[in-house]
């Protein structure tokens, strides 16, 4: 091969590299296009439709507000968190501390699978188990459905984060005479706390937007729900309901609701990311 031919080969490979880099960058732009578009529309349409009435008036025929839907979402998410987070952290910690046991492996696999089950099916299950028994839709059923969606998320993050706690810390605690459970709670859990906290925030952010499991569990309610046993409105379900109507004023309401929901979700996501980065920073410093 002459040096000219070699030059040609090099030039071809360099060109190939450039083209590939260009294509990869194009893929990134293409991927972010819908994100930008969705955010632009939510911001543009949502801000226009937001008003003080949106936050204080209940859902009404003239599309007055979404106060009861906002309250409903908060109520559902809080109760779901109360159910799923303690159970998820306990389960995840257990998995991490008994990592190689057959039960742990099986449960870990089950967690992954449960996380992949479409959330609409969680709704079907809760309908079959709770709604059919109680004979009516309820906030309790909705919160349970959301909790089932949350559980694998919390459990898996706890497991993963707790497993990254160095064994030397565990050994040190055990050598000082601490029992396994003291080690798990006061050493492992505390060391892993920032990661677990951010995992929980991400799980909360995720269920704030979950709609499918609520459709036939919490259902919907035009009015303020009086108790946990009443059907309840939620921002998510209300957005879907309004999306499927042909009325412009309801569409405007849906954009405003989407703005509120997405703002909350994004804030939680960013905060969770910050938390992890801060923890990483302090660990490496």
Partner 1 sequence: MQRALVPRDAPRTQEETRESARSADRTLGALGAGAAGALALVLIGVAASVVHLAWPSIRENGASFWIGATWDPARGAYGALSFLFGTVVTAAVALLLAVPVGLGVAVFLTDLGPKTMRRPVSALVELLAAVPSVVYGLWAALVLAPLLRDWIEPLLGATGLPIFRGPYLGVGLLCASLVLAIMVLPTIAAVTRDVLGAVPSELREGALALGATPWDVVRFVVVPHARRGVAGAVLLGLGRAVGETMAVAAVVGSRADVSSSLFAPGYTMASVIANEFPTASTELHVSALAEVGVMLFLVTVAFNVAARVLVRSRAR
CB-nearer residue toward partner 1: 75 or 191: 191
196 counts as binding partner 1 under rule CB under 8 A: no
| 193 phi, psi to nearest 5 deg | -55, -45
Window 199-258: residues binding partner 1 (CB under 8 A)? 205-206, 208-212, 215-216, 219, 236, 239-240, 242-244, 251, 254-255, 258
- Stretch near partner 1 under the rule CB under 8 A, chosen from 50-58, 64-72, 74-82, 149-157: 149-157
User: CA–CA distance from 193 to each of 5, 152, 166, 175, 281 (Å)?
Assistant: 60, 18, 14, 22, 15
> Minimum CB separation from partner 1 for residue 268, in Å?
8
Of 83-142, binders to partner 1 (CB under 8 A) are: 87-88, 90-91, 93-95, 97-98, 103-104, 106-107, 109-114, 116-125, 127-129
141: buried, middle or exposed (CB in 10 Å: 19+, 13-18, 0-12)? buried
Torsion of CA 198, 203, 208, 209, to 10 degrees: 120
Q: Residue 233, SS3?
A: coil
Binding mask 51-70 for partner 1 (x = CB under 8 A): --------------------
Closest separation between CB of residue 52 and partner 1, Å? 23
Instruction: Based on the shown chain and the rule CB under 8 A, indicate whether residue 25 belongs to the binding site for partner 1.
Output: yes
How far apart, in whole angstroms, are the C-alpha atoms of residue 134 and residue 140?
A: 10
Q: Which residues contact 43 (CB under 8 A, 6 or more apart)?
A: 259
- Give the nearest distance from C-beta 161 to partner 1 in angstroms: 16
* Of the candidate residues 47, 53, 78, 266, the single one contacting partner 1 (CB under 8 A): 266
Stretch touching partner 1 by CB under 8 A, among 19-27, 52-60, 61-69, 221-229: 19-27
**Closer of 22 and 53 to partner 1 (Cβ):** 22
Cβ neighbours for 253, distance < 8 A, ≥ 6 positions apart: 49, 54, 63, 66, 238, 242
Would you say 65 or 205 has its CB closer to partner 1? 205
* Residues 100, 114: Cα–Cα separation, whole Å: 20
């Amino acid at each position: 091969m002459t040096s000219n031919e070699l030059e040609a080969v090099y030039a071809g490979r360099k060109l190939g590299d450039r083209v590939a880099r260009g294509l990869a960058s194009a893929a990134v732009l293409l991927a972010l296009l819908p994100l930008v578009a969705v955010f632009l529309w939510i911001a543009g349409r949502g801000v226009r439709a937001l008003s003080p009435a949106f936050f204080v008036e209940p859902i009404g025929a003239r599309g007055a507000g979404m106060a009861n839907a906002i309250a409903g979402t908060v109520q559902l998410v809080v109760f779901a968190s109360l159910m799923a987070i303690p159970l998820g952290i306990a389960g995840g910690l257990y998995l991490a501390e008994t990592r190689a046991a057959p039960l742990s492996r099986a449960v870990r696999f089950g967690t992954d699978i449960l996380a992949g089950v479409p959330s609409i099916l969680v709704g079907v299950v809760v309908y079959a188990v709770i709604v059919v028994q109680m004979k009516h839709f309820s906030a309790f059923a909705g919160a349970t459905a959301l909790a089932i969606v949350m559980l694998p998320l919390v459990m898996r993050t706890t497991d993963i984060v707790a497993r990254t706690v160095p064994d030397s810390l565990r050994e040190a605690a055990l050598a000082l005479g601490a029992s396994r459970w003291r080690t798990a709670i006061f050493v492992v859990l505390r060391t892993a706390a920032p990661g677990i906290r951010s995992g929980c925030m991400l799980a909360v952010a995720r269920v704030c937007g979950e709609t499918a499991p609520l459709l036939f569990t919490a259902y919907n309610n035009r009015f303020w729900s009086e108790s946990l046993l009443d059907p309840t409105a939620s921002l998510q379900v209300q957005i879907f309901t309004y999306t499927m109507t042909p009325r412009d004023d309801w569409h405007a309401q849906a954009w405003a609701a989407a703005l509120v929901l997405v703002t909350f979700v994004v804030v939680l996501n960013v905060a969770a990311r910050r938390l992890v980065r801060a923890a990483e920073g302090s660990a490496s410093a």
